[in-house]
Amino acid sequence: MSILLSDEISLSSPTKVCEIKDGWFKSYIIKPENFGFERCTKDDLKGGTPVENAEITRNILNGSEKGFKRNAVLMNAGAALYIGGKADSLKNGISLAAEIIDSGKAVKTLEKFIEVSNRAEN
């Protein structure tokens, strides 16, 4: 299992990470272009009101949102999958994240989370 130290992988600038794994570590820079993504501005990733942000999130997870916001989710979800040992590289983690979204599994998980969180406490 790896640990990547960075608060968030950016699509608007290079991201410095430190990877720790099996007693070794290395620091390196990753760029969106390394993974086939176009660089964007911070404004391209801006959200809105809570209702608008919920809609953006749902659209990303149901596969209807394409572009910079989806790519940012793919980069960061891919890193989480890599760190969690579900993928053997960041690139493969990104591919797996795209498969999970495109298969409908991500939005089903969101819907289940919403259902469970809205249940009345007994």
Q: DSSP readout, the chain?
A: -EEEE-S---SSS-EEEEEEETTEEEEEEE-GGGGTPPP--GGGG---SHHHHHHHHHHHHTT---SHHHHHHHHHHHHHHHHTTSSSSHHHHHHHHHHHHHTTHHHHHHHHHHHHHTSPP-
Reported pTM: 0.86
Report pLDDT for 24: 87
Domain ranges in the chain are 2-117
- CATH of 2-117 given 3.30.43.10, 3.40.50.450, 3.30.1360.120, 3.40.1030.10: 3.40.1030.10
6-34 pLDDT, tens digit per residue, is: 668 999 999 998 888 888 888 999 999 99
